[in-house]
């Protein structure tokens, strides 16, 4: 049975990739590692970082403006803005509120969602839920944004070799019945809560003069646990979402995954016995863009005509926590 049968889907996408190119050679030098070692483990050749003066809200607004233009609407038409990020301009307020101001979207409500690398998938689901529940809502802007470069510890190559910055946007609105989001699944395995974390600034680890040199302000990641969680539980979330829509893996035309690591995506597709032609990857060029990853991959797949009308598309991510999500779309 389809959960969403009213027709609510993505009608336009946009992106912003920052201007500071970082090659794997440069990353290797910073990490005191080698390009070969990084490439063998990640498949990442380049990534992009924000430049001085760039902000999460700024690159999000650029992505949003592109999506608005493609949708043929203005910021004044937006009813709601959902920011999916852990790296907003400040610890709070919500990044989405600043984007509302930058765009001039005066009538739009705004809030942020924290689910890390599956946040954008959850944001799309929330947007569809809100439109379904409130007939007055017509257009919801969903942003996936990551400014991770300030949180990288270059003394820890196991972590810092992966990440890049960026922002993607989607406009969610009503589409013909039978199209748009068909189903969604969100799971969590909180037993491995600490496997990927950024402790500094949290209520249990406030940054103080006494601990400022302890490295709490940097990413910490257990790469092996990430691998284990992804290959064990992400296929489960995908199968559950497909079952809700009355579909199977074989029915899917395109998988949009969180771009954690090219090797992981290749392994996951192999585990599902699917060819790589049924997924889209940009991790080779952009690195692991965390909260922005799904939004950027979706945008580029649409731009390159890898997703067409009537295609069954699965958007699926794995976020720190660990939070697993999958949404099934019939593309309009």
Active-site residue set: 117, 258, 288
SS3 string of the chain?
CCCCCCCEEEEEEEEECCCEEEEHHHHHHHHCCCHHHHHHHHCCCEEEECCCCCCHHHHHHHHHHHHHHHHCCCHHHCCEEEEECCCCCCCCCCHHHHHHHHHCCCCCEEEEECCHHHHHHHHHHHHHHHHHHCCCCCEEEEEEEECCHHHCCCCCHHHHCCECCEEEEEEEEECCCCCEEEEEEEEECHHHCCCEECCCCECCECCCCCCCCCCCCCCEECHHHHHHHHHHHHHHHHHHHHHHCCCCHHHCCEEEECCCCHHHHHHHHHHCCCCHHHECCCHHHHCECHHHHHHHHHHHHHHCCCCCCCCEEEEEEEECCCEEEEEEEECC
């Amino acid at each position: 049975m389809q959960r969403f049968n009213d027709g609510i889907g993505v009608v336009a996408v946009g992106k912003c990739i920052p201007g500071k190119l970082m090659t794997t050679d440069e990353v290797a030098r910073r990490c005191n590692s080698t390009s070969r070692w990084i490439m063998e483990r990640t498949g990442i050749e380049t990534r992009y970082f924000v430049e001085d003066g760039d902000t999460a809200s700024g690159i999000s607004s650029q992505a949003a403006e592109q999506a608005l233009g493609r949708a043929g609407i203005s910021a004044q038409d937006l009813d709601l803005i959902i920011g999916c990020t852990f790296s907003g301009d400040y610890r709070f307020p919500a990044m989405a509120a600043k984007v509302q101001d930058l765009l001039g979207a005066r009538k739009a409500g705004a809030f942020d969602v924290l689910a890390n690398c599956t946040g954008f998938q959850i944001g799309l689901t929330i947007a569809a839920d809100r439109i379904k529940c409130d007939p007055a809502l017509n257009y919801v802007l969903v942003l996936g944004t990551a400014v991770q470069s300030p949180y990288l510890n270059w003394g820890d190559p196991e972590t810092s070799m992966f990440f890049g910055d960026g922002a993607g946007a989607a406009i969610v609105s009503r589409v013909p019945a039978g199209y748009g989001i068909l189903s969604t699944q969100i799971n969590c395995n909180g037993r491995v809560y600490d496997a990927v974390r950024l402790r500094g600034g949290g209520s249990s680890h406030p940054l103080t003069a006494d601990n400022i040199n302890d490295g709490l302000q940097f990413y910490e990641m257990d790469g092996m646990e990430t691998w284990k969680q992804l290959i064990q539980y992400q296929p489960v979330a995908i199968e559950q979402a497909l079952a809700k829509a009355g579909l199977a893996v074989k029915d899917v035309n395109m998988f949009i995954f969180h771009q954690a690591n090219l090797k992981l995506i290749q392994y996951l597709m192999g585990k599902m016995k699917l060819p790589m032609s049924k997924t889209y990857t940009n991790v080779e060029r952009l690195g692991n863009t965390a909260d922005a990853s799904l939004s950027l991959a979706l945008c580029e797949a649409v731009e390159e005509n890898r997703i067409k009308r009537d295609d069954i598309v699965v958007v699926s991510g794995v976020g720190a926590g660990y939070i697993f999500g999958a949404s099934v779309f019939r593309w309009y």
